[in-house]
Structure 1
Amino acid sequence: MANCAWSEKVLRLLRRMNNFHSAGSCRPSCLRFEVDGAQVGWIPPHVAPLLTRYPEVFCPPRGGAVCLSPGLDSYGRRSEAVDGVLQNLRQEGTLSCLRGWRDERYSVMPTFSDAPLMWMERAATGLFGVTRYGVHVNGYTMGGCGEVSMWLGRRSLSKQTYPGLLDNVAAGGLAAGVGVKHTAVKECQEEARIPASVAEEARPAGTVSYTYEDDEGVYAETQFVFDLELPPEFRPSVGDGEVQDFLLLPIHEVKELLVTDDFKPNCAMVVLDFLIRHSFIQPDTEPCYQHFMAGLHHTL
């Protein structure tokens, strides 16, 4: 039978990571962000007034939406014009999220399969609620008797976000123009020094999606999930400094850890998804099973 206290902690995690869908969120006050007639995000109420100062880039709000100026009719023009606005706002220093400027370009499009309409600086995506895509890799090993253990990374204390917390063996954002599998292999090499010949064996296992809000903005995220069975004798090692150490833990210990404050929240969701897909959590014994599934695949 399921541990009710553990299940409730999981539900709290999922509610937190999907609080944009909750009663009392800023969603009713947000404006749709539309590009070339398609919605690509949500503009929080504290951001919309700032955009009216740039009428050459953003049209005045109309019908509950903010659109780009009609003259910005190409990928390049849109990207450069919006980036110019963001650079100005960055210099003003009033938006805290822009202090974490990364010089990383993220594609902006209605859905992942659509052609990108523009790119946007990663640190600014929450100001427009555009979906950010990333890749997370579950690294695990199989023992001689079939027991499963999972490799977890502990994030560097110098990381801008969630320093020192537990993470998947490799993970990273999906930069504009870069493929999903390529990103998975690259992150495995860079973060955990997993050779390409091994990382190429990672199997795509679906996605985890959620949308949350905080004081800085709205964050709609979809993580492409990969499972990578690592040889028992292999040990990941610190690569680019994103991670300070790696731990190999029995799956039951990982399950308990994912509901603690020691785990990066979205990585905990990726591990929860792994536990469900590999039948460590089953519908006959977990009364919150359906709620878990809904919380892991919550889209706008």
Structure 2
Amino acid sequence: MPLQAVTRALEQIVCYDKSGFYPLEIAGQRIGCINVLWRERLLAHESAIFREDNGVIRALDSEPDFAARSATLAASALRWREAGWLNGWRNEKFIAFFNDGTPALEMERAAFRPLGLTSRAVHLNGLTRMADGEIRMWIGRRSPFKDVEPNRLDNMMGGGIAAGESIQIALEREGWEEAGIPSERLTLLPQTALLLAERPVQRGLHREWLYVFDLWLKEGEAPQNQDGEVAEHVLMPLAEVEQHLINGQFMSDAALTAIDCLARLGYWGDDSPLHSVLARVRGVAGTDTAGR
């Protein structure tokens, strides 16, 4: 049945074997996670910064502030790139936070996954209610020229929150670049979900809070990509979205966001087993969980 297939797909997105990862403490707080390969690299080649203590990788215990921690790890990331350990260098920085929400450091986004640091992103579901009452969802197809997951299906918009950006600024910037949505349409848009996307990737551990918003477009109104990163937007019946989810055609974070949206719309009913799986990764919408 489709519901069982979607539930299995969701479980594959949110569940993984955590036994192959080592917790990372920076300046005395546990904010990252490192796989076996990167543990070996850091202990062998970055021993001036990283050490292991009872199965925990510790770093920067003596660095006094945000700027010092950021500078030390920025130099490390450059060494990792020169060694051929990092690909996808963006010249774009993300901020990692301590557990109380205080900024811990900023670092090249390509280096976040090796350390398992938690980044943040905004995702925008585009929805349209047709004249007959049917709800449809706007789905983006990534450009075939994208370096990462070309041609995969995506939400109407999704993008990382860069260092120095607020959630609102990132929403407005990405909303315009990826979907041509004017900022005034997004200024007072309420956040509808908060989801923790977490999974092993080739580079390490992807861990990201997804700040999710729903935007209702009128029938006949369509998103318009501005930056060339989206090949097309398609207005799909929810049953078609469901089938693409089952077939694995969505990017992982986009799939999580779309499943959550359909569940909130009641597409599978209020007592669906999906809700118990989603409960594992749902935060409280409208709160800033950067430090979790």
What is the TM-score of this pair, normalised by structure 1?
0.87
Q: Which amino acid aligns with 1:54?
A: E
RMSD: 2.1
* Partners of 2:95 and 2:162 within 8 A in 1: yes
Give the whole-Å Cα distance in 2 for the aligned partners of 1:257 and 1:69: 44
* Partners of 1:119 and 1:176 within 8 A in 2: yes
Partner of 1:77: 68
CA drift of 1:173 comes to: 0.5
User: Which residues of 2 match residues 157-176 of structure 1 at below 5 A?
Assistant: 157-176=144-163
Q: Which amino acid aligns with 2:46?
A: Y
Q: Which amino acid aligns with 2:92?
A: E
Q: Which amino acid aligns with 1:146?
A: G
Structure 1: any 5+ residue segments left out of the alignment? Answer: none
Give the whole-Å Cα distance in 2 for the aligned partners of 1:211 and 1:69: 24
Pick closer, same or farther for the CA change 1:18–1:279 going to 2, 3 Å: closer
Partner of 2:22: 31
How many corresponding residue pairs?
284
Partner of 2:274: 289
CA drift of 1:295 comes to: 5.1
CA drift of 1:55 comes to: 3.3
Q: SS of 1:46's equivalent?
A: helix
Partner of 2:96: 108
1:46-86: CA deviations, max 9, x gaps? 1122223223322x211222222344211111111111111
Decide which structure has greater strand share. 2
Partner of 2:251: 264
Structure 2: any 5+ residue segments left out of the alignment? Answer: 284-288
* Partners of 2:38 and 2:114 within 8 A in 1: yes
Partner of 2:210: 223
**Quick check: 1:56 aligned with 2:48?**
yes
1:154-174: CA deviations, max 9, x gaps? 101111221101111111011
CA drift of 1:11 comes to: 2.9
Residue 240 of structure 1 is aligned with which of 202, 227, 237?
227
Q: SS of 1:258's equivalent?
A: helix
Partner of 2:286: none
Residue 145 of structure 1 is aligned with which of 104, 123, 132?
132
Percent identity (aligned): 29
Pick closer, same or farther for the CA change 1:230–1:240 going to 2, 3 Å: same
Pick closer, same or farther for the CA change 1:69–1:41 going to 2, 3 Å: closer
* Partners of 1:273 and 1:296 within 8 A in 2: no
Give the whole-Å Cα distance in 2 for the aligned partners of 1:197 and 1:294: 32
* Partners of 2:34 and 2:115 within 8 A in 1: yes
Give the whole-Å Cα distance in 1 for the aligned partners of 2:225 and 2:20: 44
